[in-house]
Amino acid sequence: MISDARGGTRGEREGRKRLLADRAYDAKSLRDELALRRIKAVIPPNPTRKHPHRYDKAAYKGRNVIERMFCRLKDFRRVATRYDKRADTFLSAVMLAAALTWWT
């Protein structure tokens, strides 16, 4: 999801939910479960499908931003190996790493 100047994400304000996933998650069972929960699947079709389905290519490009963010957070050893046992301590380490990443 892309944040905008009004705060929050556009999808949250409009009540839309989407799952951005790789081709490996292109399964009918997953798509059916997401449809029951009113979540739009943004998953490119597997090349071996006989009847490929359509997906939002512009939204799928936003998946790259999320993957890069996780990659940069994993540059911090404490976050990548999860040294902290408590969730609140781990969250503070993730927030500190995110702040340092944003600052540099």
Q: What is the pLDDT of residue 38?
A: 92
Inter-residue contact 40 to 65 (CB < 8 Å):
no
CA-CA distance, 84 to 103, in Å (whole number)? Answer: 24
CA-CA distance, 7 to 87, in Å (whole number)? Answer: 26
Domain residue ranges in the chain: 1-61, 69-104
Inter-residue contact 55 to 41 (CB < 8 Å):
yes
Q: Within the chain, where are the H helices? A: 10-14, 28-36, 57-61, 63-73, 77-81, 87-103
pLDDT in tens, 49-92: 888 888 888 888 888 888 888 888 888 887 788 877 888 888 88
- Output DSSP code: residue 54: P
**pTM score, whole prediction:** 0.57
Q: In this structure, what are the phi and psi dihedrals at residue 65, rounded to the nearest 5 degrees?
A: -65, -40
